Amino acid sequence: MKRFLDTSVLVESCLSQSPKFAAADALVNQPDVCTSAHALAETYATLSGDPRLRVNPADAARMVEDLAEALSVRALVAADYRQSIASAPGQGIRGGMIYDALHAQTARLCGCAEVQTLNVAHFKLVAPDLTVRGL
């Protein structure tokens, strides 16, 4: 079964001191796991921008590159964005939840049946057709 890993899981897989590191790292290293190009950018933003993490930007970039090599990465095209945005109001999606909806659409396009995330409630709303599992 193919799994999609969202940004929250990718970030945890880079933080060896995190209590969720082992589980996240194990997921990253499984076969048939994918993520979105957008999740890689969000991971870099979180790692390099959150002052609590104190990750040097160059180190964050290397971590993201390692993730990109380990995972199947898919980018949406403009039509995917337009369709997701157009359908968002009817699904009750507003604000930043659009990003989770875009991740869910990427998961569908990758043929994933499951999404792994720390944001279970958000993904259950934006992806009722997918199995959503917490880390």
Other Cβ atoms closer than 10 A to 28: 19
Whole-number Å distance between alpha carbons of 46 and 69: 19
Q: Which residue has the tokens 């993904």?
A: 123
Whole-number Å distance between alpha carbons of 71 and 105: 17
Q: Which residue has the tokens 């790292």?
A: 25
Complete domains list, the chain, with CATH: 3-134 (3.40.50.1010)
For residue 128, what are its two tokens? 């009722």
Strand order in the sheet with 72-74: 72-74, 33-36, 3-5, 114-117, 131-134
* pTM given for the model: 0.94
Given this model, what pLDDT does residue 130 score? 96
pLDDT tens by residue, the chain, 135 residues: 899 999 999 999 999 999 999 999 999 999 999 999 999 999 999 999 999 999 999 999 999 999 999 999 999 999 999 999 999 999 999 999 999 999 999 999 999 999 999 999 989 999 999 999 998
